[in-house]
Structure formats: structure tokens, C-alpha cells
Amino acid sequence: MGNKLKAISKISVALALLGAAVPAVEAAPTAMAAKKATKKAKKSTKKVVKKSTKKAKKAKKTTKKKATKKVVKKTAAKKPAKKSVKKTTKKSVKKVTKKPVAKKSVKKAVKKAAAKRAAAKKAAAKKAAAKKAAAKRAAAKKATAKKAAAKKAATDKAAADKAAADKAAADKAAADKAAADKAAADKAAADKAAADKAAADKAAADKAAADKAAADKAAASSNSESATVDSSSSSETTNPTVDTPFAGKAVHTIYTGTTTYLYTTKDLTTIATTPLQVDTSVIAYPDGITTALTGKNAGYPAMPVTYKGQNLYLKVTSNSLTSNGLWPDGYYYALTDTTFYGVVKPTDPSVKLDAPFLNGSTWYYYFDGGVTIYSYQNNVWTSNTFLNAQ
């Protein structure tokens, strides 16, 4: 009977072990979960073994008591039945004793459960390792992509900064050039205005001086005529003088004064239709100068000139060509140490000065049709030309 109870106890323990271990293995998704499941299974197994042992002991006691009572009762009632009871008990004990053969299968089940747990643990570990490796690869890929994006952004920014810098430099250069051109044009215009004013002032001064000289000459002539006896009536003219004002020496000049009238007669009474314009070519005949005797211009000298193919007369203030704004070829003069005027270029070999040109010097060159203003800096002349409006 004791052997029977022991066998029952062992079988129940094995069954409890199998029942607790298998679900734990199946439910272990990770190494941690497998560990927890194993711990739980061990605890549960211990509990079941304890309970089974307790039950087995109790059952043993109860069976012993019952068996003793039955044996006593039957012995008392029928002694011959002793043999059959013994036989039955022996048979059942034999049957129970034969069952401990299940010990091998219990061991096998325990071993199988352990192998299953180990396999689950190994699979969980492998899965965790694969997951970790995949995460590592993904992180590396992400880092590489981030680095490449950062590099591209830096390259794009550098290119954009360079383009902006190049544009700014080009804009500045264009602005500087425009400013320099404007400054040069303004200076040239100012220089021309100054030259025109200087020429006008000089012409006005020369005219005033000539007017005074003409007035003085007219007064002296008047006094002389009143004191002289007129003998022209008693004298006989046999060889009259032919008036040829354009037969004398012809001088090519550039007129640098202000626009003025020309006359068709030497008395300066009839105005020609063609006015004399500034910065134009004029042929002058200084030897043919006469004085107007009648009209509002009486007393003024009349200089014969050829202008645009016509023989005309110019009202002048003296016999001097330059004083009347008629500058002959090759003429030049210095107004100051840095300001020069002439009808010859500053680079012409005929130009001879007492001292070399100074930086900042300006030369006004007049020609038929306009004026060119030259500026001197470090042995280099630069120029701007202004043409007459036709």
C-alpha cells in the first residue's frame, strides 16, 4: 500500500511539473520572460509537490486505518477469507508497484521541459541579439544620412554665400564706376563752365580797353582835324587809292569769344545774316582794318574776315587778333600755373613752358567745332571733348 501511494505521489509530481513547465516555455517571448516563467514554474512545482506529499501522507494514514479495520472485521467474521484478502491486496500492491516504471518518463518529461526552456531562452536571446543588431544598423544608417544632409546643407550655404558675395562685389564695382564717371563728367562740365567764364571775362576786359582806346583815338583825331587847314579842294587827285581790305595778309584763327554779329560793310551799318559763332574757324585780315565813320558804330575798328565763304566785317576793339578772341594757329597762354588755354594740344612739340606741368593741371584746347579739356596726372593726360550745338 505504501508503494502504491509513493507511485501515485511521484506521478502527480511529474504531471504537475509538466503542466507548469510547458506553458511557461511557450509563453516566454524573451529571455527575461523565460527566466520569470522558469522561476514561477519552480515555485508552482514546489507547491504542488508539498501539497501532493501532504495528501499522500494523509491518504496513507486513512488507507492504513481502513485496511486494518477491514482486516480485523473480516478476520473476526470469516477466517477463511484471509487468503483471498491477502491475495487481492498482493495483486493491487503488485499492480501499484509495477507502476514506478513511469519514473523514466517523468525524468524524460523533466529533461524535455528543460531542453524546451533552454531552446526558448536561446531563441529569445537570438531574437534580442538580432533586434539589437537591426537597431544598431538603423541607427548607423540614420547617422550617415544625417551627416550627408548636414554636409549638403553646408555646401549649399557656402555656394549661396559665395554667390551673394560675388553679386555684392559686382554691384559695388558698378556703383563705384558710375560714381567715378559722374564725378568725371561733373568736373569736365565745371571746367568748361570755368573756361567759358574766363574767356568771357577776358573778352569783356579786352573790349573795354579797346573801347577806351578807340574813344581816345577819336577824340585826338577830332582835335587834329579842327586845327588843320583843309587843302583837299585845291589839290587835284590824279591817282585815286583802290580800297582792297581783303588783299592783305590772311591769318587763320579760331574764334574763342562769344557769339556776335558780322557786317556786310566796313561802316558796320548793315548786319549780315550769318552770326559769328564761338569755337569756329575764321580767316582774318588784320592789315585791312579801317574805322567806321558813320552810324551808331562810328569810331569802332572794322576787321575784314572771311567766314563760311563770305567776306564780312567784324566789329573789334583794337588791332590785336587775340584781344578780340581770334586765336591764330599754334597760339596758347598760361592763365595760372595749372590752367592753360590755346588752339594747340598740350602734347604738341611746339608747346614750350618754363617749368614742367604740375599734377592737376588743366589745358583747354579750342578747335573748329568745339573744345577738348585735358587733365594732367602723373605724366598722363586724360581728356573730355565737348562739341558745339549745330
Q: Are 263 and 312 in contact (CB under 8 A)?
A: yes
Q: Of 66-80, 195-209, 241-255, 314-328, where does the model show the most confidence?
A: 314-328
- CA dist., res. 279 & res. 255, Å (int): 5
What is the Cα–Cα distance from 17 to 116, expressed in whole angstroms? 13
What pLDDT does residue 115 have?
92
The label of the residue with cell 550617415 reads 144
Reported confidence tier of residue 132, pLDDT bands at 50, 70, 90: very high
List b or e across 323-333, with b for residues whose CB sees 16 or more CB atoms inside 10 angstroms. Answer: bbbbbeeebbe
pLDDT in tens, 345-360: 999 999 999 999 999 9
Query: 188: which strand partners?
Result: none
Mean pLDDT of 39-51: 70
β-sheet bridge partners, residue 367:
370
pLDDT tens-digit series, residues 258-310:
999 999 999 999 999 999 999 999 999 999 999 999 899 999 999 999 999 99
- Please check the confidence at residue 175 and state whether its pLDDT lies above 80: yes
Question: By 3-state DSSP, what share of the chain in percent is helix, strand and coil, each rounded to 5?
Answer: 55, 15, 25
C-alpha dihedral, 170 to 174 to 179 to 180, nearest 10°: 100
**pTM of this prediction exceeds 0.85:** no
Cell numbers describing residue 127: 531574437
Comparing 120 with 91, which gets the higher pLDDT? 120
Which residues, 6 or more positions from 288, have their beta carbon under 8 angstroms from its beta carbon?
244, 245, 246, 247, 248, 303, 304
Percent of the chain with pLDDT over 70: 62
Measured distance CA(214)–CA(346) in Å, rounded: 36
What is the β-pairing status of strands 332-334 and 310-315? unpaired
Q: What is the pLDDT of residue 248?
A: 85
Q: Give yes or no for residue 169 having a pLDDT over 60.
A: yes
How does 179-193 read in b/e, with b if 16+ C-beta sit within 10 Å?
Answer: eeeeeeeeebeebbe
Rounded to whole angstroms, how far apart are CA atoms 85 and 92?
Answer: 11
The answer on pLDDT for 55 being more than 80 is: no
Nearest Cα neighbor of 71 from 92, 89, 55, 54 is 89
Average of pLDDT values for 365-383?
96
